[in-house]
Structure 1
Amino acid sequence: MTKTERLTILRTAPLLAALALLAAGCGTQRAGQEVGDGGPSRAAVATPGAPVDFACPGESAAPAPTPSAAPSTPATPPTDHYAENHGFRVPLQLHGRSRCDGLAAARRIERALEPLRRRGDFSPQSTRAALTGLGYADGDVQSSQSGPTGVSFLVVARPLCLEGGIDREKTRVDAFGGYPDGTDCEPPAGGH
């Protein structure tokens, strides 16, 4: 080894040792110290909260909470994973202004279809005519027979989806925001 090589090694050795010490001391948790126990803490990260809903015109002061018949977490984990595997088929709920728009559109459709129900007119053609009469484009309205005395329908009114039916007992309309997989207002057919 030449004198120049030896001097280079002697000059770089302290730098390498200092770097090794700095790298080893980067952690904030000390041996025997619990996480979050008096050490430096990370700044809080903003997390999205629950969507804000408010009373819409024609609605009582507080939106009715969705009833929950079962506890949110079962005592034993499910083995069939049905809910997990079919979550993509659950429609997206509307919140805020969109929710109010959806409720207003649903009331409008109910008012238009109720006379058909009272007359006992359960034909998909009459339902389609009533919905297109409200201004929905013919290509955005689907209606189909649902038994001998019922009609189901789907209206694509971007960004809203309006789905429901009429039968002898009632007129039902639900507004939602599409599906998580991006299939617009059509329920997804796939899965795994």
Structure 2
Amino acid sequence: MRVGKISWLVAAALLAVLALGCAAPGTRVDDVQAIPTSAPASPAVVAEPTDPQADAPPNHADNNGWKRRHELSAAEQRTGRKLAARIRPKLEALRAAGDFAPASTQRALLDLGIKADTIEVTAMRPSIGQETPPPGTVYAVRFASLGCVAGDVRPDRVLVEVTGSAAEFGCLEPFSH
């Protein structure tokens, strides 16, 4: 009976040592607390995921790799900004006139001396569940073989962005649901 009692005490002592060794910092007797005792207790802080794809499926990057755009060099960026500065006033004039027709946007870009084979223009697409597209035009102008000035002309804005082209589709991403 004495051996059984000793075994039980040894097992209890081992469990106590294990419990103390596995305790969180600041919970053991000799630990120094990081927060002064006069400070009010703060609620636990739960870190939000900082990865932009934190809630995406594991193959999200692979599935969307076709959208990856070319990174523009400093010289390509400058060329794109100069082209964008020429395009914006023409498209702002169309917006001010209430002209959102793709043909008008195409004509405005051609009037700037931009070659027709570098221009893409389409009408806005209807939202899912709607049959009629909103007023507006989506456009892109390819420059320096890998650069794009792209955006749209809508009643509420003119968008002009300088970006790189994508290997799979060029400047304007194809429509998909």
Aligned to 2:137: 151
Deviations 1:108-155 (A, max 9, x none): 111111000011100111100000111111222121111341111121
2:50 matched to 1:71?
A: yes
Secondary structure (helix, strand or coil) at the match of 1:107 reads helix
Cα root mean square deviation, aligned = 2.7
Deviation at 1:82, TM superposition (A): 1.5
133-142 or 121-130: which moved more? 133-142
Aligned to 2:151: 164
Q: Any unmatched runs of 5+ in structure 2?
A: 1-47, 125-132
2:171 matched to 1:185?
A: yes
The 1:188–1:92 alpha-carbon spacing in structure 2 relative to 1, beyond 3 Å, is farther
Task: For 1:74 and 1:114, locate their aligned partners in 2 and report how far apart those are by CA, in whole Å.
Answer: 36
Q: Any unmatched runs of 5+ in structure 1?
A: 1-68
Corresponding letter in the other structure for 1:71: T
Task: For 2:117 and 2:95, locate their aligned partners in 1 and report how far apart those are by CA, in whole Å.
Answer: 23
The 1:123–1:89 alpha-carbon spacing in structure 2 relative to 1, beyond 3 Å, is same
2:67 matched to 1:89?
A: yes
Whether the 8 Å contact between 1:164 and 1:173 is mirrored in structure 2 is yes
Task: For 1:108 and 1:134, locate their aligned partners in 2 and report how far apart those are by CA, in whole Å.
Answer: 8
Where does 1:121-140 land on structure 2 (aligned, <5 Å)?
121-140=99-118
Query: TM-score if structure 1 supplies the norm length?
Result: 0.53
Task: For 1:115 and 1:73, locate their aligned partners in 2 and report how far apart those are by CA, in whole Å.
Answer: 37
Deviation at 1:177, TM superposition (A): 2.3
Corresponding letter in the other structure for 1:72: D
Q: How many residues are aligned here?
A: 119
Task: For 2:134 and 2:168, locate their aligned partners in 1 and report how far apart those are by CA, in whole Å.
Answer: 33
Whether the 8 Å contact between 1:162 and 1:175 is mirrored in structure 2 is yes
Corresponding letter in the other structure for 1:81: N
Query: TM-score if structure 2 supplies the norm length?
Result: 0.57
Task: For 1:109 and 1:70, locate their aligned partners in 2 and report how far apart those are by CA, in whole Å.
Answer: 39
Corresponding letter in the other structure for 2:115: A
> Which aligned segments of 4 or more residues in structure 1 are displaced greater than 4 angstroms?
73-76
Deviation at 1:100, TM superposition (A): 1.6
The 1:73–1:149 alpha-carbon spacing in structure 2 relative to 1, beyond 3 Å, is closer
The 1:148–1:72 alpha-carbon spacing in structure 2 relative to 1, beyond 3 Å, is closer
Task: For 2:103 and 2:140, locate their aligned partners in 1 and report how far apart those are by CA, in whole Å.
Answer: 13
Task: For 2:161 and 2:53, locate their aligned partners in 1 and report how far apart those are by CA, in whole Å.
Answer: 29
Whether the 8 Å contact between 1:94 and 1:102 is mirrored in structure 2 is no
Return the structure number with greater relative CO, CA threshold 8 A, min gap 6: 2
Task: For 1:98 and 1:127, locate their aligned partners in 2 and report how far apart those are by CA, in whole Å.
Answer: 24
Whether the 8 Å contact between 2:139 and 2:172 is mirrored in structure 1 is no
Deviation at 1:74, TM superposition (A): 6.4
The 1:188–1:143 alpha-carbon spacing in structure 2 relative to 1, beyond 3 Å, is closer
